[in-house]
């Protein structure tokens, strides 16, 4: 096996890790405060399209900003319905995913490319040139961010407040904390990171938008949160593991002899099978006691 193949697998794994880690870290923030957002897949899918359009019009900085803003907006809507309107968080999250499917399909049709939109090369995020290959700057962001969020949640007053409204919202309310406002802010920030992950897919890693661009990575990010047990540092490890198997499936499918002997559909199942196995092995983990439960002052 040549070193070129191994380096290719390594770099592909690093880039495959980014969207999973960004979305998972964002979900850790939201779940710590007590909101469970199953709509990560839809946020990533929607932000991939809006980010691509933003990059096409104003370059990659605008594309990333639009992707973040898209996630933030969807997160605010999700949070408002889930907190102040006392909506069922699972149903709202499913609604986000269904909306994204229709929105992206309709958007691609309006652009005159019903199944595929290519982001101009000049509008894509520039790479960091290294001795062994080109690296996306967002790889570094995805590596550093879990450490920052770990510090935020465990060593700051804000982090303690988020944990309080996630574990004991009634007690936090008595202590003077604005439970629903904190929950809304946490889930909106988490959704913004999922939006950044979606923009990364279209204007950096893949350079295009399709109706299936997220390819289940939002759900893999949710599995990563289970794997991590709401520990931001472990989301990085989970992102690396799932990113590796995501890239391994593509890598194996292109090995001479393998792609002729094994259907590519079976090989592409690899990251999802690994996801199911990891979640099954881990089993039950501790989550905030008020996770998924709307809070009302009595």
Residue 233 vs residues 17, 22, 240, 291: alpha-carbon distances, Å: 14, 12, 11, 20
Q: Name residue, tokens 């946020």.
A: 43
Partners of residue 208 on adjacent β-strands: 118
Would you say residue 254 lies in a domain? no
Q: How many CB atoms lie within 10 A of CB 114?
A: 12
Closest residue by Cα to residue 37 from 1, 88, 73:
88
Would you say residue 116 lies in a domain? yes
Distance CA 26, CA 170 (A): 24
Would you say residue 31 lies in a domain? yes
Distance CA 45, CA 22 (A): 14
Q: Which domain holds residue 172?
A: 19-215
Would you say residue 150 lies in a domain? yes
Report the Cα–Cα distance between both ends of the chain, in Å, rounded.
66
Q: Total structural domains in the chain? A: 1
Would you say residue 34 lies in a domain? yes
Q: Name residue, tokens 């990085």.
A: 236
Q: Give the pLDDT score at 256.
A: 67
Would you say residue 233 lies in a domain? no
Tell me the DSSP string of the chain. Answer: --HHHHHHHHHHHHHHHHHHHHHHHHHHHHHHTT---TTHHHHHHHHHHHHHHHHHHH-HHHHHHHHHHHHHHHHHHHHHHHHTS---HHHHHHHHHHHHHHHHHHHHHHTT-TT-EEPPGGGSPPPEE-SS-EE-HHHHHHHHHHHHHHHHHHHSHHHHHHHHHHH-HHHHHHTT--HHHHHHHHHHHHHHHHHHHHHHIIIIIS-EE-TTTTTTHHHHHHHHHHHHTT-HHHHHHHHHHHHHHHHHHHHHHTSTTHHHHS-HHHHHTHHHHHHHHHHHHH------TTTT------
pLDDT in tens, 251-293: 776 666 666 667 767 777 878 888 888 877 776 678 899 999 9
- Both structure tokens of 172: 């936090």
Spans of the chain below 50 pLDDT: none
pLDDT in tens, 72-112: 999 999 999 999 999 999 999 999 999 999 999 999 988 87
Q: Give the pLDDT score at 253.
A: 67
Distance CA 50, CA 202 (A): 9
Report whether 13 contacts 32 (CB < 8 A): no
């Amino acid at each position: 096996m040549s070193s070129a193949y191994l380096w290719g697998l390594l770099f592909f794994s690093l880039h495959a890790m980014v969207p999973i880690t960004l979305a998972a870290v964002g979900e850790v923030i939201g779940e710590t405060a007590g909101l469970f957002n199953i709509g990560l897949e839809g946020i990533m899918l929607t932000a991939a399209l809006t980010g691509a359009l933003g990059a096409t019009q104003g370059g990659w900085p605008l594309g990333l900003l639009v992707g973040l803003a898209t996630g933030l907006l969807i997160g605010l809507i999700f949070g408002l319905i889930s907190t102040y309107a006392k909506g069922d968080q699972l149903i709202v999250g499913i609604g986000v995913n269904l909306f994204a499917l229709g929105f992206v399909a309709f958007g691609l049709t309006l652009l005159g490319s019903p199944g595929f939109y290519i982001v101009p090369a000049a509008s894509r995020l520039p790479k960091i040139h290294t001795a062994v290959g080109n690296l996306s700057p967002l790889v570094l962001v995805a590596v550093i961010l879990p450490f920052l969020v770990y510090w935020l949640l465990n060593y700051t007053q804000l982090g303690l407040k988020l944990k309080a409204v996630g574990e004991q919202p009634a007690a936090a309310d008595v202590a003077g904390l604005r439970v629903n406002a904190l929950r809304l802010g946490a889930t909106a920030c988490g959704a913004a990171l999922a939006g950044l992950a979606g923009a990364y897919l279209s204007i950096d890693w893949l350079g295009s938008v399709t109706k299936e661009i997220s390819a289940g990575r939002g759900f893999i990010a949710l599995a990563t949160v289970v794997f991590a047990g709401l520990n931001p540092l472990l989301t990085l490890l989970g992102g690396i593991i799932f990113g590796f198997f995501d890239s391994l499936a593509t890598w194996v499918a292109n090995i001479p002899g393998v792609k002729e002997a094994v259907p590519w559909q079976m090989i592409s199942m690899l990251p999802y099978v690994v996801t199911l196995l990891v979640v099954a092995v881990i089993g039950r983990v501790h989550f905030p006691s008020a996770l998924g439960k709307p809070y009302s002052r009595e």
